[in-house]
Amino acid sequence: MQTKVRTYCPYCSGKVITKSEGDVLRKYCPVCKVFFYDNPLPVVSAIVMKEREVLLVKRRNQPHKGEWCLPSGFAETGESIQAAALRELVEETGILGKIISFVDTDSITDDFYGDLIFLTFEVEQTDGVLKAGDDALEAKYFSIYKTPELAFKSNTKAIQTFIKSKSEYWAIIDSFTLSVTEPGKVHLKPNFLSDILVDVIKENVNIMADRWIKDVKTNKSTPTYHFISETNLKKRFKDDTDQYVKWLTGNYIVEDMRRHYQTLGLTRRIEGFKQSELISALSLIRKYIWEFALSQGMWQKTIDIYRTLELERRMMLFFDKATYHACKGFEEEAK
């Protein structure tokens, strides 16, 4: 179906002609002396979320019958755009809501309706029960990352814009939630913000090792380390850094940590180190990893600050546990 062309004047029923108004050709009634402005039709859409799922409806009528889209419809004369979005939402899904924010606007030409302007809002459900309305075959939630192909490209664009606007917020929420996973469970490679720093640590381990060696070779809190060769010390630093990287990347379980650091504590006891030296050396490893991470310019955006704070939390969790198990190993030998 093509958009109908105006042929007659709605006021006098006389035949209209085409006449130039400025540089634009428009339909004109020579009797009424009126130009007709066929402006784009305003279409409103609502993005309603449940967790990371978005509410879609399957269209009952043409055009695009049987295809999925956001709850959408035309704004009526005398109705605000916001009110139209909420009205269409309740008519198509049974959901009552309130406008949270404006998401996107898009201008398209549709084969059925002609020129359209889509205005999309984020809407929060306030009441109602999900049920497909008269214009919809179904109404259901889909993962916002795996929606079916949508009837209107403007809906797809709006969802992509919405995801982009929420991506940093969701990353922060996910990362902090995952960073407090129950001890003893295998990490299933969650999407931590600080995962981006793993490669930085691995690629610069020699720089951090050299700084740590210089410190433990002169620090009063680690006198026995003064007599260890730099080659041996670098190997020890890399071993501990490797344990930390494995933990960061999810390739580690609590039992691995317990076994490794209790063995390390036992070994340092046999080598003649004091327990205080063991604790100081681990603390200095943490210090130089942390200082190097901060030196990478991580304070430029809000999400970078969260990334840094999360790294500090994960570092604290790892090295606190590592120190505890190393001390347990050291004490067991002492008995």
3-state secondary structure of 47: strand
Q: Which of 24, 25, 29, 26 is nearest to 8 (CA)?
A: 29
**Is-contact 59 136, C-beta < 8 A?**
yes
**Rounded CA separation 304/189 (Å):** 20
| Ranges of H-type helices in the chain | 81-93, 153-178, 196-203, 205-216, 230-248, 254-271, 275-294, 302-334
Contact between 27 and 8 (Cβ < 8 Å)? no
Report the C-alpha gap between 248 and 245 in whole angstroms: 5
Distance CA 99, CA 121 (A): 7
Q: Transcribe 113-159 into DSSP letters.
A: TEEEEEEEEEEEEEEE-----TTEEEEEEEETTSPPPBS-HHHHHHH
Name which of 57, 94, 54, 52 is nearest 72 in CA terms.
Answer: 57
Write the single-letter amino acid at 172: I
Q: How far apart are CA 18 and CA 36, in angstroms?
A: 10
Active-site positions read: 138
User: To 10 degrees, the CA torsion angle through 311, 313, 314, 318?
Assistant: 130
Residue bearing tokens 């606190």: 320
**Peptide bond connecting 183 to the previous residue in cis, omega within 30 degrees of 0:** no
Backbone angles phi, psi at 50, to 5 degrees: -135, 110
